[in-house]
């Protein structure tokens, strides 16, 4: 029986495929390559190019392959774009999940692990954020992730289907093999943007907001290594295989770093001066997001191995330095 990874050509999906193969799973990848890269797909995975919203495509895939469980990363995930083009997010994230669940039910596939986000919480009332805290998304992207969770919840009550929603905080870093890493275009995430400076791709970075109510005025986030995220997906799948009930889990290290601190660590790791300019706040940014990881540790047995921020940045730097143009040169 194989594991189907939807969105397995993307950043977090491709790392999960590598870890699944390391642990000797049989892996099938489906991706429409809208933001993913064929070069990111491990050669030992069976790759199908297609869209999760395409009923016919999924029907044929489920007939051809014997799938035990699905790990679903395929989504649109730019917060800013979700505010200017909300319909795109409802279409890809919600309609895509709807088609997928329908086809899973039709084919009797009853286990799914999928990407949710810290964006479901909005501005937290208390820290660290626990899974049962209020969910008040500040943007369409977070709203569609919350709606995906709710679609799973009601569907699992009506059908033989169990799910795990994994709410990632800030995914970062790259695989230790050096073969895969983060390649988004446009890039919006802080660490790869910072690393464009030592890679001669930009002169300086902008710090969005220096007047937040934090120790140095810049936003605080919980940075979690992509390989630790990958391991959590495998643990979640095992949890479902062993009869675990549907649930949602935070994935973060439980430690916050400010934007200014991340820049400082990147200077230390790369040995380059990284000039910064102060910019206005970016719309929709909560001041502080830090996860409580207790639930994932206790129930899934998750133990992040790459929690040290310098290790995380060094792994990203290794990839970006060796692949200044991302997967294009593969």
* Cβ pair 201, 254 in contact under 8 A: no
Nearer to ligand NAD among residue 173 and residue 198 (C-beta): 173
The binder of 193, among ligand NAD, ligand UFG, none, by C-beta within 5 to 8 A per type, is ligand UFG
* Phi and psi angles of residue 267, each rounded to the nearest 5 degrees, phi first: -60, -45
Q: Interface with ligand UFG includes 282 (CB under 6 A)?
A: yes
The binder of 208, among ligand UFG, ligand NAD, none, by C-beta within 5 to 8 A per type, is ligand UFG
**Residues with Cβ within 8 Å of residue 244, at least 6 apart in sequence:** 162, 164, 299
Round to whole Å and give the CA distance between 114 and 135. Answer: 18
Q: Round the CA-based radius of gyration of the chain to a whole number and report it.
A: 19
To ligand UFG, the closest distance from the beta carbon of 22 in angstroms equals 25
Q: Which stretch binds ligand UFG (CB under 6 A): 25-33, 64-72, 182-190, 304-312?
A: 182-190
Q: Interface with ligand NAD includes 137 (CB under 6 A)?
A: no
* Cβ pair 300, 239 in contact under 8 A: yes
Q: What proportions of the chain, in percent to the nearest 5, are helix, strand and coil?
A: 40, 20, 40
Nearer to ligand UFG among residue 117 and residue 315 (C-beta): 117
The binder of 259, among ligand UFG, ligand NAD, none, by C-beta within 5 to 8 A per type, is ligand UFG
User: Measuring CA to CA, which residue among 12, 11, 284, 6 is closest to residue 140?
Assistant: 284
Among 16, 35, 77, 155, which residue sits at the site for ligand UFG (rule: CB under 6 A)? 77
Residue nearest to ligand UFG (CB): 219
Q: Which residues bind ligand UFG (CB under 6 A)?
A: 77, 117-119, 169-170, 188-190, 193, 205-208, 219, 221, 259, 282, 285, 289
């Amino acid at each position: 029986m194989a594991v189907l990874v939807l969105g397995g050509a993307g950043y977090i999906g491709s790392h999960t495929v590598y870890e699944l193969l390391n642990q000797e799973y049989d892996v099938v990848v489906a991706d429409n390559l809208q933001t993913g890269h064929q070069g990111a797909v491990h050669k030992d995975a069976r790759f199908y190019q297609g869209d999760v919203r395409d009923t016919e495509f999924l029907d044929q895939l489920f007939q051809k392959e014997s799938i035990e469980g699905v790990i679903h990363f395929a989504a649109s995930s730019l917060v800013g774009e979700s505010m200017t083009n909300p319909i795109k997010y409802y279409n890809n994230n919600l309609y895509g999940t709807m088609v997928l669940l329908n086809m899973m039910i039709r084919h009797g596939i009853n286990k799914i692990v999928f990407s949710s986000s810290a964006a479901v919480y909005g501005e937290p009332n208390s820290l660290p954020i626990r899974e049962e805290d209020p969910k008040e998304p500040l943007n369409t992207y977070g709203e569609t992730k919350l709606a995906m969770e709710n679609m799973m919840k009601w569907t699992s009550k009506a059908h033989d289907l169990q799910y795990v929603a994994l709410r990632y905080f800030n995914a970062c870093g790259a695989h230790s093999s050096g073969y895969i890493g983060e390649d988004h275009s446009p890039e919006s995430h802080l660490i790869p943007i910072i690393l464009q400076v030592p890679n001669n791709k930009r002169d300086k970075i902008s710090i969005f907001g220096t007047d937040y109510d934090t120790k140095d005025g810049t936003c605080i986030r919980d940075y979690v290594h992509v390989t630790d995220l990958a391991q959590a997906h495998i643990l979640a799948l095992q949890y479902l295989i062993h009869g675990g009930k549907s649930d949602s889990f935070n994935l973060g290290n439980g430690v916050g770093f400010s934007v200014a601190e991340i820049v400082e660590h990147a200077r230390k790791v790369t040995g380059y001066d990284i000039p910064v300019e102060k910019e206005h706040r970016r719309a929709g940014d909560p001041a502080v997001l830090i996860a409580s990881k207790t639930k994932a540790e206790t129930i899934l047995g998750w133990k992040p191995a790459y929690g040290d921020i310098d290790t995380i940045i060094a792994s990203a730097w290794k990839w970006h330095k060796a692949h200044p143009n991302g997967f294009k040169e593969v």
